[in-house]
Amino acid sequence: MTTGSGTAYRIENLDVYRKSIAFGTRLYQEAGNGKARSAVGERVRENTLALVLNLASGLGFWEKQWKTSHFAASKRALMELTPLLELMVALGEMKAETESQYAAELQDLTRMIGGLLRQAQRREGVEEPGAARDGDARESTTRYH
The whole-model pTM stands at: 0.71
In degrees, to the nearest 5, what angle opens at C-alpha 16 toward C-alphas 15 and 21?
100
Per DSSP, the three-state class of 132 is coil
pLDDT in tens, 66-80: 888 888 999 999 999
Domains of the chain, start order: 11-121 (1.20.1440.60)
pLDDT in tens, 120-138: 888 655 454 455 555 544 4
For the chain, give the longest Cα–Cα distance.
59
